Amino acid sequence: MDAARNRPTLQDPEGRFASIIVPVADAHGCRLVHVRIGGSQAGRGNALEIFLERYDGTPLTVDTCTAISREVAAILDVEDVMKNAYRLEVGSAGLDRAMTDIADFIRFKGHEIKIELKRATSDGQKRIRGLITAANEDGFTITDEQKRSFDLAMSDLSAARLIATDILLKAVQNGEFPKPLTALTPEPTPPLSTQPEA
């Protein structure tokens, strides 16, 4: 695979899997939110954990997860990406999901997140928890409990995660969970704006 398509990203911290998973997920009307290597279990090897959501905002089904798992596993085995024993786990990104594209920050503006920075702020902070108070294609603003605001870009982040607050849970219960937006951050993978199949 092309080296430029193999660099680590928030979506794929290992930098080895997104270029394989994204085309498969797209073909099933799904967006790859995050992929990571999980912990090992005795005799079962590491887990390759794939977290998805449907582009149309409908629930992810077991059948879809099974189909994507089967197709991704076949490619991984042919290309010998996983050198040792592993198990593949495919599921929904859920509420407390990784935030891996600026589109996620625009989508969840007004909701609470926690982030980890590559470099500490002027007052020594590397981890911040707060509300997304502004977001656009250039970056976002997070305001913490002390009412301090931090203007940041995606390139400042080493990790970010949505917090499953009562407000977010209520939005889910009321059918008001923010629907996916077209991903905006350039990634070394095919465009994430592919429309789902009928």
Q: Could you please state the CATH topology (level 3) that the domain comprising 102-173 is classified under.
A: SH3 type barrels. (2.30.30)
Kindly list the domain boundaries of the chain, sorted by start residue. Answer: 3-92, 102-173
Q: What is the largest CA-CA distance in the chain?
A: 52
Q: What is the CATH number of domain 3-92?
A: 3.30.300.70
List pLDDT tens digits, range 4-60. 456 889 999 999 999 999 999 999 999 999 999 986 554 456 899 999 999 998 999
For the record, the structure tokens of 12 come out as 């794929």
How many whole angstroms separate alpha carbon 59 and alpha carbon 164?
17
Residue showing tokens 């995606």: 154
Residue 143, pLDDT > 70, answer: yes
Q: By CB neighbour count within 10 A (0-12 exposed, 13-18 middle, 19+ buried), where does 56 fall?
A: exposed
